[in-house]
């Protein structure tokens, strides 16, 4: 079978849907590769900063790596702005939706809300509300998002910072997106993992 016979989904057979599921499973397995290709396109995106959006993403992930962060945090630092091209007004939600099946709930929440938290650094210059994040005060992941933005996001526009290239992070992306989607042991609802691990950071620095 090269294609199904039906032209309306209600007419499909079990065999046809099994055929399609096999194709979809194979396609989904290459999600990480497609995301890295999309990340490269950020180099063609928004200009005006001292680094490109790709450079910013790589720098954020490099900072996370050097802070001893785990693979969930590193993948999220790398991909937190992946929506800039296609969803400029809700890029944070876009990125969080992509990551949600494959990383901790904690990380998904931080990526989804980081746009509001980032306003702390600039919104007052434009007549906006720099304290937009306060609507999330008391949330279990509030401090995590604060640190994500402070340590890895707002600080990663430095052209002189020594940044790893995209191939360095390829195995991490492959690991994260190679997981079973929505696996409870990955999502770990309610769990918190610190962003920084000094011992891991030292080990990586000395490797």
User: Domain range for residue 167?
Assistant: 11-206
The rounded distance, in Å, linking the Cα atoms of 180 and 28 is 10
In a domain? residue 106: yes
**Is pLDDT larger for residue 1 or for residue 107?**
107
Joined together, the tokens standing for residue 72 give: 């969930």
pLDDT for position 1:
86
Q: What is the pLDDT of residues 66-103, one digit of tens each?
A: 999 999 999 999 999 999 888 999 999 999 999 999 99
In a domain? residue 96: yes
In a domain? residue 147: yes
In a domain? residue 2: no
Q: Which of 57, 105, 123, 124 is CA-nearest to residue 84?
A: 57
Q: What is the DSSP string of 2-13?
A: -S-S-SSGGG--
pLDDT for position 52:
92
Q: What is the pLDDT of residues 154-174, one digit of tens each?
A: 999 999 999 999 999 999 999
Which residues does 205 contact at the CB level (< 8 Å), separation at least 6? 66
In a domain? residue 1: no
Confidence of residue 22 (pLDDT cuts 50, 70, 90): very high
- Rounded average pLDDT over 49-63: 96
Q: What is the pLDDT of residues 172-190, one digit of tens each?
A: 999 999 999 999 999 999 9
Phi-psi region of 15 (alpha: psi -120 to 50; beta: other; left: phi over 0): alpha
Joined together, the tokens standing for residue 187 give: 């999502």
In a domain? residue 6: no
Q: What is the pLDDT of residues 105-154, one digit of tens each?
A: 999 999 999 999 999 999 999 999 999 999 999 999 999 999 999 999 99
The rounded distance, in Å, linking the Cα atoms of 201 and 185 is 25
pLDDT for position 54:
94
Contacts made by residues 14-19, CB under 8 angstroms, sequence distance 24+? none
Q: How many domains does the chain have?
A: 1
The enclosing domain of 18 has a CATH number of 1.10.3210.10
Confidence of residue 45 (pLDDT cuts 50, 70, 90): low
Confidence of residue 46 (pLDDT cuts 50, 70, 90): low
In a domain? residue 4: no
The rounded distance, in Å, linking the Cα atoms of 87 and 83 is 5
pLDDT for position 71:
98
In a domain? residue 5: no
Q: Rounded to the nearest 5 degrees, what angle is found at the Cα of 38, between the Cα atoms of 122 and 52?
A: 40
Confidence of residue 42 (pLDDT cuts 50, 70, 90): confident
pLDDT for position 135:
98
């Amino acid at each position: 079978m090269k294609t199904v016979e039906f032209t309306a989904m209600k007419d499909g057979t079990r065999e046809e849907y099994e055929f399609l599921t096999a194709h979809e499973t194979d396609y989904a397995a290459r999600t990480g590769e497609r995301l890295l290709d999309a990340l490269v396109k950020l180099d063609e995106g928004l200009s005006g900063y001292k680094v490109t959006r790709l450079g910013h993403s790589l720098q954020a992930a490099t900072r996370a790596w050097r802070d001893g962060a785990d693979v969930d945090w590193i993948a999220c630092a790398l991909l937190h702005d992946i929506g800039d091209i296609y969803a400029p007004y809700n890029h944070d939600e876009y990125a969080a939706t992509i990551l949600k099946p494959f990383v901790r709930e904690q990380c998904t929440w931080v990526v989804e809300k980081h746009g509001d938290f980032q306003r702390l650094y600039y919104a007052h210059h434009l007549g906006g509300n720099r304290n937009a994040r306060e609507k999330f005060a008391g949330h279990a992941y509030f401090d995590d998002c604060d640190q994500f933005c402070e340590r890895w996001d707002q600080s990663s526009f430095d052209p002189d910072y020594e940044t790893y290239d995209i191939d360095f992070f390829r195995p991490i992306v492959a690991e994260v997106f190679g997981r079973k989607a929505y696996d409870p042991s990955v999502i770990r609802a309610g769990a918190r993992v610190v962003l920084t691990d000094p011992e891991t950071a030292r080990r990586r620095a000395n490797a």
